[in-house]
A and B are shown apart, each in its own frame.
Chain A
């Protein structure tokens, strides 16, 4: 999904004609072609789109009502028939209150994905702005911001998050806030290092000579070049956020009932591990597939948005001893 968004960024880095690419192909088409070449990534991307679709339209796609309890159907195994005579069975079984597990998973996706994306975007905005400032203005501000980054990198992040949630009390927005505060440094560090090299480029110099104000240089000239590496990072961070939220909820300081997330479902299912294996299996499997897909798509996007390594994905050839990722 990040591929179409990053198209404008690629336009800037595109004019490398000695990579064996057809001279002027639209970036979106190049990405589409590269995606078709790579079946694993293609499958991951489809899975992610499906997951986001299911989360957005959970009421439409889920077979049962999320809160519909049934005392007769507590902890029933997968494929148990509907007690009300409906055509669709409980495909993944039912939970400790007789609720349909698949439906719960689809509704859980709403919170898990919302926390993942919101957390990644909030920490991204803070980190990118501070990274831009540090890299562009250098000097005193840079020193302070980077000192802050280094210091916070040394903190035990999960413990700090637990402490803050213990003081503030649990809840979805507080989880998002805590995640954003504990991860902004990752963006700041990368943004700064990218800006440091970009600010010496000729096009920045040209803009400055023409009398461009700083904010225009930063956001119109430098920012577009940062877009693809930062989108890759954002994708990776969404996965990290989803996993951290699951841990926090599992420990009882994240999402609270009646709201539900995948991590909370695992926490609740844990008590029934001996009798109802499906309760602890499927929520974790969904977390794994989502995070893995995000990681695979990000790895692919990192290689494809870089014109130097892109051709390998298009030609399918195998160079001997060089590689893309650093």
Chain B
């Protein structure tokens, strides 16, 4: 567990270094913050205030020191420290991600079981195409289609905005298809794996109902590989959230990143990227915890 924690820290540190490299060496922070039509004098003046004429190693030291204090500098757009702005947006993103998982996960488990019970049957082939379809859909396009149908044509839901169930349902549906497709594929192969094991024959020979065999025997054990995927899925979900939040005007971290990019607000951009990384790393740690809880072999090794 301590090793996992150290690994997470390494990931965050490397990302911080990559961000520094990209913004300070590939690009020039002063030019990145100013409009493209800014004069050379303006650029030089800003470089002086930001201390960009100091040796690179000194800049890097300052950058890392500020980072550890959670200080990304003031947002150029809102004129207040960048990090609190980002932190304010986290609940909205988590809310959307939570509802998305509530849709995707049960659906994926059901689809996975249906196809695993009879491999290569018609139902299985149908599920395969549906889950591959989920993986192959551009989530923002699905969002556009949902807006077109339910908001524009039928007028049942608002096209965008933040609020209760009728606001969250369309973005969550659009976001749910990809994780649903991926999880159902893993559920399927994990279930098929479990069901070919000898203990399944034992369970059936004992005269247990097929339902008990599938749900309390196979599903329980097949769950472990599904969980390993969850950490990966968190990253996919947050990737999708950037696009979906932008499409639906959902006030989360994702849309904030895009707005910050549009306004050339470098401190805010850096704060958003690092915050999203911290979220992903945290989910991965939680998954590892749950993993060791579910599978005693991992706990004791």
Contact = CB atoms under 8 A, between A and B. Distances in A.
Interface stretch (A12-20, A27-35, A160-168): A160-168
B82 interface: no
B144 A266 contact: yes
Given A151-B11, A251-B246, A288 B276 contact: no
Interface in A243-282: 243, 246-247, 250-253, 263, 266, 270, 273-274, 277, 280-281
Interface stretch (A99-107, A196-204, A315-323): A315-323
Given A151-B11, A250-B140, A284-B138, A321 B192 contact: yes
A288 B119 contact: no
Interface string B122-156: 00010011001101111111101101100010000
Interface string B280-300: 110010000000000000000
Nearest to B272: A159
B10 A151 contact: yes
A156 B239 contact: yes
Given A156-B235, A163-B22, A318-B121, A251 B242 contact: yes
B80 interface: no
Nearest to B262: A252
Contact of A299 (B128, B144, B258, B262): B128
A287 interface: yes
Interface in A280-296: 280-281, 283-284, 287-288, 291-292, 294-296
Interface residues of B, number: 58
Nearest to A269: B144
A322 B132 contact: no
A195 interface: no
Interface in A139-175: 150-152, 154-160, 162-164, 166-168
Nearest to A295: B132
A25 interface: no
A253 B138 CA distance: 16
B205 to A, nearest CB: 15
B67 interface: no
Nearest to B196: A321
The size class of the interface chain A forms with chain B is 35 or more
A152 B185 CA distance: 24
Contacts of B18: 155, 160
A251 B258 contact: yes
Contacts of A291: 135-138
B239 A157 contact: yes
A159 B138 contact: no
A312 interface: yes
Interface of B: 7-8, 10-11, 14-15, 18-19, 22-23, 26-27, 32, 119-121, 125, 128-129, 132-133, 135-142, 144-145, 147-148, 152, 185, 189, 192, 195-196, 235, 238-239, 242-243, 246-247, 257-258, 261-262, 269, 272-273, 276-277, 280-281, 284
Interface of A: 40, 150-152, 154-160, 162-164, 166-168, 239, 243, 246-247, 250-253, 263, 266, 270, 273-274, 277, 280-281, 283-284, 287-288, 291-292, 294-296, 299, 312, 318-323, 325-326
21 contacts: A154-B15, A155-B277, A160-B15, A166-B32, A166-B269, A167-B22, A167-B32, A243-B136, A246-B140, A246-B141, A247-B138, A247-B239, A250-B138, A251-B246, A263-B138, A283-B141, A288-B138, A295-B132, A299-B132, A321-B196, A323-B192
Given A273-B152, A319-B120, 19 more contacts: A152-B14, A154-B235, A155-B11, A155-B14, A155-B18, A156-B238, A160-B18, A160-B273, A162-B258, A239-B136, A246-B141, A250-B243, A266-B138, A266-B140, A266-B141, A291-B135, A318-B120, A321-B195, A325-B185
